[in-house]
Structure 1
């Protein structure tokens, strides 16, 4: 883990699993089925599952495939948030939180790019996975525990936000078919990807 990674970990400590689960449950309790917050929570569940798939992958090929699937989901989800939800958050008087959200997602994208350059058969690959997962889980906790609850309460355009969120998610590679729990990862491309080592 780099010095920057360690410093960032100290600035924004990761909430424990109990707190994260409580935030998810509370957000789910106020989310309208099919609304933008409901979709976000479904995507967060899928992201957690994709991180687990990366942790569980044993061969270099399986690790690369799992990492690619995670990247597709993270990209579609983050772009939908950045294009639709964070501007709405800023417009509701939460500019500081919106700016912080953009910064965290940009940092995660940079970390993902670094991760692609690490040989998947090495301990460093698993270390980077753990670092990225911790940062993403903390970011999702911030969204679920307060940022998006404030947006839902303050916005008078929740239906429009749901339509736009869905549209951007699908435009950026995600698929809402089968609920909001899928993203279109090109399995053929994943299979063609060769591990770095």
Structure 2
């Protein structure tokens, strides 16, 4: 297992990893401007997604159910990002678009407060590297398709990138999913305790 992880990590090109970060943060930085200007065609999807996430977060699901849902959504999203590597230049668009969507949802949820500082939360510290790695893998396979000579000797078969996704991205998403599930359940317990206190006061 450790050998598989090391082999998968050695596949990642550091320059493309940094490039994927730049693309993501370009979209993330543009999000508040688009939100402030109320550019509806850009905001329609992330705002819709934010409302759906708010509704789902309010449901009192079992811990395992909530965890599997979070893991499933995140895995599906990043797997689509990985598959974008099959189409030339599509990973560039997806990386910027993902950063933009995350930015709109964050800005909407926090009402603009602690916008960049919010990325230092424990969940994001695992989810973001997972996203950057998924984009890096997609960009690398893109380079295989269009023939980037400067990358040197990299795997030509897409299965190598699928393997790296499984051994690197998935563990990060599992850890992030567990932290997020614990955080949601903890917040729900606090909310229930506050409601119980208010109810007790009203009865008195």
The two structures have a TM-score, normalised by structure 1, of: 0.35
Q: Name the larger-Rg structure.
A: 2
**Structure with greater helix share of residues:** 2
